[in-house]
Structure 1
Amino acid sequence: MKKIVGLLYKNLFLTNRFFAGLTLCVVLFLLAFFFPWMGIIPELVFWTLLTLILIDLLLLYKTAKGVFAKRHAPERLSNSDENDLGIYIENWYSFNINVGIIDEIPFQFQKRDVWFKSTLKPRERKLINYVLRPTKRGEYEFGNIRVYVKSPLGFISRRYNFEQTEMLPVYPSFLQMRKYELMAISNRLTDIGIKKMRRIGHSLEFEQVKNYVAGDDYRTINWKATARQGNLMVNSYTDEKSQHVYCVIDKSRAMKMPFEGLSLLDYAINASLVLSNVALLKEDKAGLITVAEKIGAVIPADRRPTQMNKILEVLYREKTRYLETNMELLYSTIRGVIKQRSLVVFFTNYESLPALERQLPFLKRIARFHLLLVVFFENTELKKLSEQPATDVEGIYIKTIAEKFAYDKKLIVKELTKYGIQSILTSPQNLTINTINRYLEIKARQKI
């Protein structure tokens, strides 16, 4: 008996319809006090309401388990992407029910309104889909699923609790990586902004001898094969393979700056993941180095099938540190780890020319042995300020300072170019596309 009472006490909730009926009864009793001709009408309404409530209780509680619910979630979530989740629910009652569902999502999302409403017929099953967009890597704890059931009468609501506590890791943007991979396989990279690069000459990587077709370079005609076959034959060349591509990610405080919920470090990590995957698809070898005041992870370049999993697991755990980058240690690590000329893509951020000048001696040393590509970020908020018209003295001052910082970014590009160091100045949202474009351009021009 105590168990039944406790169950009713914990999981029984009164609805707006119940309070509306109760209010109607109170009003009728008040009116009957002033208008005696109403007689027993208030009492009839009261006892009718009480009877309906008891029937509602019987309908909801005569079945021990009236509904079943379960969360459908992937094994891991993709950072900065919209991840699809779902709640499967099944009605075991013999009548139509109205349900309200609360899914206890992780606190990192800061959402308190994850409430789903639905109507189910007897024995009907439904899958309610929704999306979540995490903005930080790490472990996210999901709680229970709570289902509130109302019968057609709707005076009370019964709550069902389904324990489904689970911990889901949020990895770097592997959904973005797969999207670019599928685009590359289907030759549709131009649909998302990847440019087609015109080849300058051809590489020395011979592929095959094939029949000449209109548009082939006549300079590649193989005259010996043509004489043997009696048809024009041309040599076919392909991109040089097994070149080393290293992504070097700066984890210092310069990469802590936020943009649309993500830090610059997260943008760099997502772009590195996609670039490494594209490099492997091009049959190059991909490697990774992370650095702040000390060296973090070092993954030597390779193109084994397990390489992407290694890179993904390392990037999942990386966090921003709060000291400046030790460029001397980075230089010695690159010299010790990278044994042949490689493409080194250094993801960092500079807000002023003096910040670059402190690191420039080491960047020049790295560029002597490798093809160095420095990737850093536009300050999009300052860019917006510099483009806004000034209406007063304070506005002129703010606009001038913003333009100065934007001009410093352009000076940084010129300073790097002066020493033969390639660079990309990009907004965070265009980082991945601009980086892949430059990698494909470098491949096409055979600069590695």
Structure 2
Amino acid sequence: MRLFRSLFVAIRLWFALIAIVLLFVAAYAFPILFPLMKIAFAVFILMILLDGWLLFRQKEAFFARRELPDRLSNGDENPLTIYLENRYGFQADVEVIDEIPFQFQRRDVLFKAHLNPRETQAIRYELRPTKRGEYSFGAVNVFVLTPLGLLKRRYQFEQGRMVAVYPSYLQMRQYELLAATNRLNEIGVKRIRRIGHSMEFEQVRPYTIGDDVRTINWKATSRRTVMTDQGTRSTTLMINAYQDERSQPVYCLIDKGRVMRSPFEGLTLLDYAINASLVLSNIALYKQDRAGILTFSDHVGQLLPADRRSGQMLKILELLYRQKTRFLETDFESLYASVRTHIRQRSLLLLFTNFETVSGMQRQLPYLRRLAKDHLLLVIFFENTELRSLLNQPAADTEQIYMKTIGEKFSYEKKQIVKELGQYGIQTILTAPQNLTANTVNKYLELKARGMI
């Protein structure tokens, strides 16, 4: 029974069988063909038996292995590899079907390969999850054909594996690497021009091209003036180097209410906010600040106090992994009460939420103003990209004119929200979801450069 379960018929056999049947039918009209067809049919049966013997004469004649990360990164292209090894003594055509989790809703994970005897080969492809949680991978099904190509033998490997999908740690590592090499501008993070200096003096060091000449330390420079053997003076310019103030608390306040359920390119706004919070927390820790997380919806969820110890990023990652959208109205009063109770030191609060109308924002404005009174508040909400694409298209009839007029109204209200929040000294970011991370990191670096936190 095990042998028959692994035995499949190739399409070449069906074509050959149809051809034989048609020729047998033709033999009734031309009897001279009938003896030849008997011989052809016998040869056909022998070829099937030979094909089956070649496939099943060895017990473990083929090997495959799926290699995937211990966890997948949400919203990113995650690389997977399937290694194939042909242990047969003949060239084998191979069809590989990988049983990926049902969350991907893909039925096209079929690969074909041609392997020489004793040859190994790697098949690489990518998967992009759009929802956090546990994903169950099934078996790797390998169908092997001999050069005759009449029968297939199925091998099954990697019988089931559970993998967790975490917030976008690949994006976090990318930003961390570029920050360490001072190349954040490659992914849209702008260079911020410093206005003045922070209050923390770091060291006196030699001048290098690009340093601010206003920071030259003339006393230290005079001590570095020496006479050369030729009787001339050699001077090394020295400057005062300053560093950003450290250990400043940075909190990401993540709204989990129904306004964050809206989808964009497969991800919800909550997932975009979670991915941006993970990246920003890592950048803040790299800048020697303290990073913390607070989630809320109709009530306050989890609070992770700001810290910069070695295990803080792991705590942030595990906390963000478990967050889910709630379908109730967000309670900003509970948020304000929790911040007032648990966050006593003046901090940078990055509030990830979404406002569609001015009236919706004005209902929460009293609590936003109170938060801004004790902390530096940065409100981050989202631009409707579908609406923007509608506005960029010309109107062809009356109905589209009405649609564009309504769209202009909603777009104008978003701009009014930014303007009204700015009147009360509240920093804002209105951004498209795909630009959220870069714009948030830009604003954080700008606020640090201006010495506002």
Is the CA contact 2:282–2:313 (under 8 Å) kept in the aligned structure 1? yes
SS for the counterpart of 1:341 is: coil
Using structure 2 for the length normalisation, give the TM-score. 0.95
Identity percentage over the alignment?
59
> For the residues of structure 2 that align with 1:366 and 1:434, how far apart are their CA atoms?
22
> Could you tell me which of 167, 183, 187 is aligned with 2:182?
187
Which residue of the partner structure matches residue 92 of structure 2?
97
Is 1:78 the counterpart of 2:73 in the alignment?
yes
Which residue of the partner structure matches residue 34 of structure 1?
29
| CA drift at 1:227 | 4.6
| CA drift at 1:240 | 1.1
The within-5 A match list for 1:205-354 is 205-213=200-208, 216-230=211-225, 231=235, 232-354=237-359
> Could you tell me which of 110, 114, 129 is aligned with 1:134?
129
| CA drift at 1:332 | 1.3
Is 1:16 the counterpart of 2:11 in the alignment?
yes
Q: 1:264 corresponds to which letter in structure 2?
A: L
Q: 1:289 corresponds to which letter in structure 2?
A: L
SS for the counterpart of 2:327 is: coil
| CA drift at 1:238 | 1.1
CA displacement 1:223-249 (0-9 Å, x = unmatched):
443454445432211111111111100
> For the residues of structure 2 that align with 1:380 and 1:214, how far apart are their CA atoms?
42
Which residue of the partner structure matches residue 426 of structure 2?
421
Is 1:114 the counterpart of 2:103 in the alignment?
no
> For the residues of structure 2 that align with 1:246 and 1:163, how far apart are their CA atoms?
42
> Could you tell me which of 367, 370, 377 is aligned with 1:365?
370
Alpha-carbon RMSD: 1.3
SS for the counterpart of 1:36 is: coil
Is 1:87 the counterpart of 2:82 in the alignment?
yes
Which residue of the partner structure matches residue 141 of structure 2?
146
State how many pairs are aligned.
Answer: 443
CA distance 1:14–1:312, shift in 2 (3 Å): same
> For the residues of structure 2 that align with 1:42 and 1:90, how far apart are their CA atoms?
40
The within-5 A match list for 1:193-204 is 193-204=188-199
> For the residues of structure 2 that align with 1:343 and 1:163, how far apart are their CA atoms?
47
SS for the counterpart of 1:439 is: helix
> For the residues of structure 2 that align with 1:120 and 1:108, how far apart are their CA atoms?
32
Q: Which moved more, 1:124-133 or 1:368-377?
A: 124-133
> For the residues of structure 1 that align with 2:149 and 2:19, how far apart are their CA atoms?
16
Is the CA contact 1:268–1:347 (under 8 Å) kept in the aligned structure 2? yes
Which residue of the partner structure matches residue 44 of structure 1?
39
Which residue of the partner structure matches residue 451 of structure 2?
446
Q: 2:11 corresponds to which letter in structure 1?
A: N
| CA drift at 1:214 | 5.5
| CA drift at 1:215 | 5.0
Q: Which 4+ stretches in 1 moved above 6 angstroms?
A: none
Q: 1:293 corresponds to which letter in structure 2?
A: D
> For the residues of structure 2 that align with 1:263 and 1:213, how far apart are their CA atoms?
46
Is the CA contact 1:71–1:164 (under 8 Å) kept in the aligned structure 2? no
> For the residues of structure 2 that align with 1:221 and 1:65, how far apart are their CA atoms?
74
| CA drift at 1:162 | 2.1
Using structure 1 for the length normalisation, give the TM-score. 0.96
Which residue of the partner structure matches residue 3 of structure 1?
none
> For the residues of structure 2 that align with 1:160 and 1:219, how far apart are their CA atoms?
72
SS for the counterpart of 2:192 is: coil
**What residue ranges of structure 1 are gaps of 5+ in the alignment?**
1-5
Q: 1:50 corresponds to which letter in structure 2?
A: I
> For the residues of structure 1 that align with 2:248 and 2:198, how far apart are their CA atoms?
13
CA displacement 1:352-381 (0-9 Å, x = unmatched):
111101110000000001110000000111
Q: 1:30 corresponds to which letter in structure 2?
A: V
Which residue of the partner structure matches residue 394 of structure 1?
399
> Could you tell me which of 383, 389, 398 is aligned with 1:384?
389
Q: 1:179 corresponds to which letter in structure 2?
A: Q
> For the residues of structure 1 that align with 2:210 and 2:135, how far apart are their CA atoms?
55
Q: 1:280 corresponds to which letter in structure 2?
A: L
Is the CA contact 1:93–1:122 (under 8 Å) kept in the aligned structure 2? yes
Is the CA contact 2:28–2:34 (under 8 Å) kept in the aligned structure 1? no
CA distance 1:214–1:187, shift in 2 (3 Å): closer
| CA drift at 1:13 | 1.1
> For the residues of structure 1 that align with 2:422 and 2:224, how far apart are their CA atoms?
50
> Could you tell me which of 160, 165, 168 is aligned with 1:165?
160
> For the residues of structure 1 that align with 2:215 and 2:310, how far apart are their CA atoms?
34
> Could you tell me which of 99, 118, 127 is aligned with 1:123?
118
Is the CA contact 1:136–1:170 (under 8 Å) kept in the aligned structure 2? yes
Q: Which moved more, 1:169-178 or 1:60-69?
A: 60-69
SS for the counterpart of 1:123 is: coil
**What residue ranges of structure 2 are gaps of 5+ in the alignment?**
226-234
| CA drift at 1:213 | 4.6
Q: 1:135 corresponds to which letter in structure 2?
A: T
CA distance 1:41–1:214, shift in 2 (3 Å): closer
CA distance 1:277–1:163, shift in 2 (3 Å): closer
Q: Which moved more, 1:155-164 or 1:71-80?
A: 155-164
